[in-house]
């Protein structure tokens, strides 16, 4: 960060120096507005990722052949590798294939957002605005995953999808009893004479179900803050290295962030797959 200082001229007036500040904020900066809707730099980066995904999908679809070439073989090898990794979480290829389109969408979207944030120009091309007598540099593009709004939205989508699949797979009644165990309460008057321990065990089951509701909220917080924190920390680290020495020093850290971006995308996708697997499994006795 380059600080801007004020100096005093001969008339005693405070004059703003020409230095420009560049803050790494916890929030996405606004570039322009459409009515009351603010377009931020992370939102522009996300739109670019969506365009790349759509364009790539159309291109790959037109290139698919029954007898694959080298490029198609390479893509299929990557898919097979991902399927094998996801099998270790889902437990079976059938279940993996059921969730694979959703999980792959999360993985590709997050990965592209993470890697686009490292491209030359992203974070260094922007505009200068005057705020509080200081010149502030605002980049036009910033990694979408460095915005908590984006990561929280992805976490919400993933958790909500897991609940929808859970209801479809095991039924509304059985799924509801995972959280609000009405079944355990109804069993108390029926079994109290045969098994008095239901007075102790079944209320515990109800309490554990309520804890599951808190756990669902914790999932969203964990997913969103983990991804947001890692990507934001990477941005700050690379910027700090550039501030120390712009030539050569940032390169190892850029490669490190490429790896971190891949790992974080894979972790997020596998956690969503874990939730989908858990929610679509009937509760064991």
Per residue in 218-270, pLDDT (tens digit) is 888 999 999 998 888 888 887 778 778 767 777 888 888 889 889 999 999 99
Residue 284 lies in a domain: no
Share above pLDDT 70 across residues of the chain, in percent, rounded to a whole number: 84
> Average pLDDT for residues 133-162, to the nearest whole number?
84
Residue 228 lies in a domain: yes
Backbone angles phi, psi at 38, to 5 degrees: -90, 125
Residue 1 lies in a domain: no
pLDDT at 10: 41
- C-alpha to C-alpha distance for 18 and 24, rounded to whole angstroms: 20
pLDDT at 116: 85
Residue 242 lies in a domain: yes
> Average pLDDT for residues 276-285, to the nearest whole number?
71
Residue 129 lies in a domain: yes
Query: Contact, 44 vs 30, CB < 8 A?
Result: no
Residue 285 lies in a domain: no
Per residue in 51-74, pLDDT (tens digit) is 999 998 888 888 788 887 888 888
pLDDT at 60: 82
Residue 265 lies in a domain: yes
- C-alpha to C-alpha distance for 182 and 179, rounded to whole angstroms: 9
Structural domain count, the chain: 1
Residue span of the structural domain in which 35 resides: 6-279
pLDDT at 44: 86
Residue 121 lies in a domain: yes
> Average pLDDT for residues 162-186, to the nearest whole number?
81
């Amino acid at each position: 960060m380059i600080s801007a200082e004020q100096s005093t001229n001969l008339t005693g007036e405070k004059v703003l120096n020409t230095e420009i500040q560049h803050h790494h904020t916890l929030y996405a900066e606004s570039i322009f507005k459409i009515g009351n809707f603010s377009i931020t730099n992370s939102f522009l980066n996300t739109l670019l990722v969506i365009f790349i995904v759509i364009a790539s999908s159309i291109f790959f679809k037109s290139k698919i052949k029954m007898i694959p070439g080298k490029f198609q073989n390479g893509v299929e090898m990557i898919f097979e590798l991902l399927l094998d990794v996801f099998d270790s979480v889902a437990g079976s290829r059938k279940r993996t294939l059921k969730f694979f389109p959703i999980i792959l969408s999360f993985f590709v979207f997050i990965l592209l957002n993470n890697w686009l944030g490292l491209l030359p120009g992203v974070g260094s091309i922007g505009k200068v605005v005057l705020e509080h007598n200081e010149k502030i540099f605002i980049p036009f593009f910033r990694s979408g995953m460095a915005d908590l709004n984006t990561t929280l939205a992805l976490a919400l989508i993933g958790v909500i999808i897991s609940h929808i699949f859970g209801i479809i797979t095991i039924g509304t009644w059985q799924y509801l009893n995972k959280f609000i165990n009405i079944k355990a309460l109804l069993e108390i008057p029926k079994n109290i004479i045969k098994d008095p321990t239901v007075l102790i065990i079944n209320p515990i089951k109800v309490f554990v179900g309520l804890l599951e509701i808190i756990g669902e909220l914790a999932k969203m917080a964990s997913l969103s803050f983990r991804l947001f924190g890692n990507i934001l920390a990477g941005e700050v680290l690379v910027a700090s290295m550039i501030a120390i020495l712009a030539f050569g020093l940032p390169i190892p850290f850029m490669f490190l962030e490429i790896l971190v971006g891949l790992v974080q995308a894979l972790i997020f996708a596998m956690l969503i797959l874990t939730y989908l697997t858990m929610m679509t499994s009937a509760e064991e006795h």
